A and B are shown apart, each in its own frame.
Chain A
């Protein structure tokens, strides 16, 4: 698929998301697929984050702010080499993590969807993670995995947002939910062949997600996913950040060190500070 086709991809998403019964079908789509892809709910916030990242990237390179952020990010491979990529990436994401408006802006990209699928008392990951995948660069790959196999709780959801058009190998792959469950059940069979062996066993069944700029992906951490070398001509830029119900079970990504309280309803706030009267003798 070419970059020129992308506005059509976003338009199709917008039509699907805004169609009759769209809210009713959101939960069904999530339960069927383990993920949903939807248009960003706050376009201004999306553009603000993209502009801020592009300006931070230009600053890191000693360049003037770019006139066209999307094109600049897409073509960052003209200015950054793989051996300098991680320091560059850290500069950009540290700047965004320091911006006091960024967390609310990022949440705003998918607020209604998150509240519909997770709930409205929420914990949010404290720091964003940024992925930059240069064309043909094998230094920033994410091996095949499901997040719940490491530190994540199955109650978390990942909000993955594209800041350029992401498609084919420039995007990430998922193993469809039913297949993910089947492979998860027999994961021990792959102990000898390793993670790369696991990928080759599922390679013909994975789906490369089409996530145009202007949209987001919200997915469950039990879904098997990953990325491979980006064989497209332009660079992937995506941010991921986790959300979960405030009072749902945590795993080793804990409240405080990894998650922060994003939203708490007044009744909960009042209840948390209530103390029964004491001083009675039994």
Chain B
């Protein structure tokens, strides 16, 4: 029996830090991940919750290691990936080397191979530059 045949389900990944500047309660993150899995017919495995310390990806590391036994990873948002492009590439590499898929529930996006990566990367690369554009890329209505 191969790894693929013994695999089951998609691991959820939620966080304890703001996502793209917005703080989402974990209950809300779980609802979004569950809704995404249900809409796409994916069996959801209990979500791992990343620690709150800035720059910490210990839970993501565990989730990636576990992909030998799971079919994929459902991030609450693609903005939970490391901001450094090279660290992100390492994440993608690990996902694809394990024959798994990567999903972003809030953005309703999935990547199944390197040819799909622009779906994530175009958004992340542009977003990273928005703070350097007029208005710092955000129209703030709070005054």
Contacts and interface: CB of A to CB of B under 8 A. Distances in A.
Interface string A144-180: 0000000001110000000000000000000000000
Interface in A225-282: 246-251, 254-257, 260-261, 264, 272-273
B143 interface: no
A260 B139 CA distance: 18
Nearest to B21: A254
A111 interface: no
A255 B138 contact: no
Given A247-B133, A248-B133, A250-B138, A273 B123 contact: no
Contact of A257 (B107, B136, B137): B107
Contacts of A89: none
Nearest to B86: A275
B59 to A, nearest CB: 21
A273 B84 CA distance: 11
A103 interface: no
B141 interface: yes
A257 B138 CA distance: 15
A272 to B, nearest CB: 4
B100 interface: no
A96 to B, nearest CB: 15
Contact of A256 (B78, B129, B133): B78
B129 A254 contact: no
Given A126-B108, A261-B122, A255 B127 contact: yes
Contact of A153 (B79, B104, B108, B139): B139
Interface residues of A, number: 19
A153 B136 CA distance: 13
Contacts of A254: 20
Interface residues on B, range: 20 to 34
A250 B79 contact: no
A247 B20 contact: no
A30 B138 CA distance: 24
A27 to B, nearest CB: 20
Describe A's contact surface by its main secondary structure: loop
A249 B134 contact: yes
Contacts of B123: 255-256, 260-261
Contact of B130 (A255, A257, A273): A255
A273 B141 CA distance: 31
A256 B127 contact: yes
Contacts of A248: 133-135
A272 B126 contact: yes
B77 interface: yes
Interface in B97-116: 104, 106-108
A261 B123 CA distance: 6
Contacts of A260: 123
Given A246-B126, A272-B129, A256 B20 contact: yes
B125 interface: yes
B83 interface: no
A228 to B, nearest CB: 27
A244 to B, nearest CB: 10
B18 interface: no
Contacts of A153: 139
Contacts of B135: 248-249
Nearest to A261: B122
Top 4 closest pairs, chain A to chain B, by CB? A249-B135, A249-B139, A153-B139, A261-B122
Interface of B: 20, 77-79, 85, 104, 106-108, 122-123, 125-130, 133-139, 141
14 contacts: A247-B130, A249-B134, A250-B130, A251-B139, A251-B141, A255-B126, A256-B79, A256-B107, A256-B123, A257-B77, A257-B106, A260-B123, A261-B122, A272-B126
